[in-house]
Structure 1
């Protein structure tokens, strides 16, 4: 494929811009390293040459006046950040690509505020190039027909206005940009009572939808270096976020270390200030009950707070979670690969994560086995000891 897969710097998730704004304001000189991980052993059906060409295309992108004007309408985006974005460019030289026996090695290094966007763009590109390989065998119509059939079955499963609400979180592992558009447009028109919006800024802008998102693991990981101490890193990250956004974008991500470790830091001040929490690993039912119990112990009515579930969801699982917590706490769902890359073959399970900041390691421990991402075993041991780490769902 020798045409750009990413057409605009808005073809990414909202949290990339909300985090970047905070980076520009508070940590403009922070130097970062991000690394690619494929959680499956099978090689991806793409080449080093293809990926490097797509990186070159990324370097040609600019935000236009209309895109900047639209961004400026979001109440949490600052005027000085819009001015910064007028000159913002991605540097393809920040990306190093290697390939051995079909397996990709991908490293991104540079100023944190400049390279953060590569995560979603590169994952989307890799996912689409992998999906495109199924076109090459001449079965494009069959793949799309299979995708449409599966999507129709899913949308018919949800009763409109049932109180069940979802958002599209499918940018980084989508089958293709065009398919992503079709899925989101279908959700908008067929489930207007259920569909809240999309994390993808370009789709939000072009389809007139609410852009949804707050922070990613990257933000909390970074404060393992940027915070006052390793032990206070989660609190430091959450307090800096509150200072930046003054109560807006108030969903806190809980599993950078573990839910247990997070709740020890999520004191009454933070729990009152944040609108709720997001689940991204571990047993969702256990996690949700832990959140409810925590609010009650702090004297907070859980029914005034929200839980967002976003870990490997399908509709059966999401509907079961919705029913379980009905009347206990407000719940909503961010659904990704199940909607945007369910085409009759296995979607790639890929991530691009922050691994170093200012030359020091950072890590995500998670609440699920196999999701720990750090090559420095000594640092992992130190992190676990500092937080008394154990899996919350164990």
Structure 2
């Protein structure tokens, strides 16, 4: 069985799930899977994926796992008590060949947000591992180990980067669970304090590392249906988050509607209230410059704020960004696929995104149009109008 613990997921799933329990326990949602790699045939592996899904749905949190969660200062006791009763249910997930018949598979997750939010990360991990163990059953990981050693040496041994830290964000697209564990252990032993932690809760627990994460796109997307009105949905999401965590987990995600729309809502109150912001689409250098200028315009010293970079990073890009912004703000870097699935074969670029909440379409309109995902073009057009988001030139054509 690929997933053997419900802690084998990313921290932001638990932090968002607690908000759902306390504020939106009756919300209904729908997620959809997409593979962005052309020509990948996943249909032969549907039965294996289903078998692994049923294994995932047999898991319960152990008492040791619950006590670990209870030790976090921002996790409330009633949420841990709820998790003690929690179990995923496969009835909320359908996995079928796509109607197009081109090797794509269609995965839909539909049900209560509270009972479906934990499917995404382990299900993506399952799809990855099933695919790669079938496609490359005898793969020699020596190449992956060599590449990993080179990355560690580059960051550790290059003068001027002693204070540059990275974190593992690679749960969703890892080559395998076993390889993920080896990568994080190697990073811990090779980088020491230059490894800030990992987004994976189980690995953080077992390896004595700091679990990292706050919120994801689905949280802000859901507020398109949960907020008082669409235009105020981003503000409502941030205010609810602040109400729940009272200063903890203070990194805001900036690219659900694009940076311009985010900065219009991220006023002086939020600039002072949140610890920083996270970049996940668009040009990272331009993004960082605009965010720093925004802090200064709102009478906030950027040197006291964190810029988190997490969009498709590798170590050279991390170091380039660090060199560019060093001393002007606090910096954090989350590296995913380039750490946990750089072993030779081309990694899968797969996602599971929320597309509906309470029967209403929801969408992400980021600064990288290829990341957008919505099944209702009319709603996307309306969203652009409400948030004054221009249509990209390639779409306008």
Q: Deviations over 1:307-334 (max 9, x none)?
A: 0000000011110000000111111100
Aligned counterpart in structure 2 of residue 37 of structure 1, from 25, 34, 38: 34
1:91 to 74, 89, 92: 89
Query: In structure 1, what is the equivalent of residue 19 of structure 2?
Result: 22
**1:135: how far off?**
3.3
SS of aligned partner of 2:120: helix
Q: How many angstroms apart in 2 are the aligned matches of 1:31 and 1:134?
A: 36
Alignment check: 8 A CA contact 2:183 2:340 kept: yes
Look up the match of 1:127: 128
Partner of 1:340: 340
In 2, Cα distance between the equivalents of 1:59 and 1:163?
41
Distance 1:41 1:287 in 2: 29
Aligned to 1:116: 117
Q: Which moved more, 1:95-104 or 1:256-265?
A: 95-104
Q: Does 1:365 align with 2:365?
A: yes
Conserved 8 A contact 1:313-1:338: yes
Q: Which residue of 1 aligns with 2:203?
A: 203
Question: What is the match of residue 315 of structure 1?
Answer: 315
Residue 57 of structure 1 pairs with residue 52 of structure 2: no
Q: Distance in 2 between matches of 1:351 and 1:364?
A: 13
* Structure 1 position 104, deviation (Å): 0.9
1:180-199 alignment to 2 at 5 Å? Answer: 180-199=180-199
Q: Deviations over 1:185-205 (max 9, x none)?
A: 011111012101000000000
Confirm or deny: 8 A CA contact 1:11 1:203 kept in the other structure.
Answer: yes
Aligned equivalents of 2:372, 2:336: Cα separation in 1: 21
Query: Is the 2:361–2:379 Cα contact (8 Å) retained in structure 1?
Result: yes
> Following superposition, which runs of at least 4 residues in structure 1 exceed 6 angstroms of deviation?
none
Is the CA contact (8 Å cut-off) linking 1:97 and 1:107 kept in structure 2? Answer: yes
The aligned counterpart of 1:384 is 384
For the pair 1:80 / 2:78, whether they are aligned, the reply is yes
Residue matched to 1:240: 240
- What is the RMSD of the two structures over their aligned residues, measured on CA atoms? 1.5
CA distance in 2, matches of 1:264, 1:391: 18
Give 3-state SS (helix, strand or coil) of 2:369's partner. Answer: coil
With 213-222 and 157-166 compared, the bigger mean Cα shift is at: 157-166
The alignment's TM-score, normalised by the length of structure 1, stands at 0.96
The whole-number CA distance in structure 1 between the counterparts of 2:233 and 2:40 is 36
Alignment of 1:99-178 (within 5 A): 99=97, 100-136=101-137, 139-140=138-139, 142=140, 144-159=141-156, 162-178=162-178
SS at match of 2:73: coil
- Separation in 2, partners of 1:362, 1:222: 7
Shift of 1:390: 3.5
For the residue of structure 2 that corresponds to 1:193, the secondary structure is helix
Q: Partner of 2:326 in structure 1?
A: 326
- Offset of 1:159 from its aligned partner? 2.2
Q: What is the Cα deviation at residue 257 of structure 1? A: 0.6
> Is the 1:44–1:130 contact (alpha carbons within 8 Å) kept by the matching residues of 2?
no
Residues 265-322 of structure 1: CA distance to partner in whole angstroms, max 9, x if unpaired?
Answer: 0011111000000000000000000100000000001001000000000011110000
Q: Give the Cα separation in 1 of the matches to 2:390 and 2:325.
A: 25
Query: Is contact 2:3–2:122 with CA below 8 Å preserved after alignment?
Result: yes
Query: How much has 1:391 moved relative to structure 2?
Result: 8.0
In the superposition, relative to structure 1, how do residues 391 and 18 fare at CA in structure 2: closer, same or farther (>3 Å)? farther
Structure 1 unaligned runs (5+)?
A: none
Q: Which 5+ residue runs of structure 2 have no aligned equivalent?
A: none
Post-superposition CA distance 1:26-83 (Å, at most 9, x none): 1010000000011122224551111111111011000000000000001100000011
1:132-190 CA-partner distances (Å, limit 9, x unpaired): 12333xx33x2x11111111111111126611111100000000000000110011111
Once the 2 structures are TM-superposed, how far is the Cα of residue 369 of structure 1 from its aligned partner? 2.2
Counterpart in the other structure of 1:281: 281
Matched-pair contact (CA < 8 Å) for 1:252–1:276 = yes
